[in-house]
Amino acid sequence: MSTPIETLHLDLGQIREQRCLFLLLALVALLVALPFLSTTTIGRVLINLINIVILLTAVAAVGRSTRSWVIAFFLGLPVLLFQVVALQSRAPEHFALSWGFAAAFYAFILANLLQYVLRRDTMTEDKIYGAIAAYILIAILWAFVDGILQYFYPGAYTFLGAPKFLDMGELIYFSFTVLMTVGFGDITPALIQSRFFTILEGITGVMYVAILIARLTGLYPMRGPGVTPRREDRQG
């Protein structure tokens, strides 16, 4: 019969094996909540709390060494600070600073997440969750890049034909339309700088779906019922 300590150890082990799932759920929660909560003060506070959860789950997803924990912490802390300042001041420069630190944080998280997902060992459910989360992170990362771009190049994007400084909800929406190459045409790049960044994001989305997902489903051995995970996979 298992002792309480052994049971707790098993539960913690299961949580560690599903850490990418929690990141994915936090990202989906942001996408669902953003269009409904961003118009009120309380809603923006709740969205900020979701962002904190995303930061924590992202750090947990890639924190597989002390170094990665430390780097993720020092990149994530300014994101939270400038998010609070930007929500209070509503100043474009504060949003730009917040988006800049967020872009650096998400780039670090994405690089480490892809390194884990692409590691050549046994495919697990957690890696599948990580691959889906990485796709969402790519779109959010490009949204931050677009936000910084429009700060330095006013009028970089138009909404229904009129120049507009896009908020984060609109930036994420536009980023997903570009990444998935659907292009509804309501938000469009108006300057040469934003047009070429849009091209780069479109290429990123096509390459991810065509190459990365193909590798995950075709090249890695799936874990069968009688296959024991390798040691490095269990420790990841």
Write the DSSP assignment of 27-88 as a string of letters: HHHHHHHHHHHTTSHHHHHHHHHHHHHHHHHHHHHH--SHHHHHHHHHHHHHHHHHHHHHHH
**Could you tell me the two tokens for 93?**
């420069």
pLDDT in tens, 107-161: 999 998 888 887 777 778 888 899 899 999 999 999 999 999 999 999 999 999 8
Band the pLDDT of 31: cuts 50, 70, 90: very high
Model pTM score: 0.81
The per-residue pLDDT of the chain, averaged, comes to 81
Q: How far apart are the C-alpha atoms of 170 and 165, rounded to whole Å?
A: 9
> If we measure between CA atoms, which residue out of 127, 128, 119, 75 comes closest to residue 101?
75
Predicted confidence at residue 219, as pLDDT, reads 55
* Number of domains the chain contains: 1
Query: Residue 18 is part of a domain; what is its CATH number?
Result: 1.10.287.70
**Could you tell me the two tokens for 211?**
């190459």
- Mean pLDDT in residue range 45-68: 81
Is residue 102 in some structural domain? Answer: yes
Band the pLDDT of 6: cuts 50, 70, 90: very low
Is residue 234 in some structural domain? Answer: no
Q: Indicate whether 46 pLDDT > 60.
A: yes
pLDDT in tens, 85-101: 887 888 888 888 889 98
**Could you tell me the two tokens for 136?**
């969402």
Quote the distance between the C-alpha of residue 108 and its chain's center: 10
Domain containing 215: what range?
Answer: 4-222
Q: Indicate whether 11 pLDDT > 50.
A: no
**Could you tell me the two tokens for 192?**
């040469």
Answer with the residue of higher pLDDT: 98 or 13. 98
Band the pLDDT of 45: cuts 50, 70, 90: confident
Q: How far apart are the C-alpha atoms of 67 and 90, rounded to whole Å?
A: 34
Is residue 232 in some structural domain? Answer: no
Contact predicate 181/155, CB 8 Å: no
Q: Indicate whether 57 pLDDT > 50.
A: yes
Predicted confidence at residue 8, as pLDDT, reads 33
Answer with the residue of higher pLDDT: 188 or 216. 188
Contact predicate 150/166, CB 8 Å: yes
pLDDT in tens, 174-187: 999 999 988 888 99
Answer with the residue of higher pLDDT: 221 or 115. 115
Q: Which residues contact 177 (CB under 8 A, 6 or more apart)?
A: 183, 184, 187
Is residue 229 in some structural domain? Answer: no
Q: Which residues contact 159 (CB under 8 A, 6 or more apart)?
A: 166, 170, 186, 187
Is residue 227 in some structural domain? Answer: no
Q: Indicate whether 214 pLDDT > 80.
A: no
Is residue 59 in some structural domain? Answer: yes
Answer with the residue of higher pLDDT: 193 or 118. 193
Q: How far apart are the C-alpha atoms of 37 and 20, rounded to whole Å?
A: 25
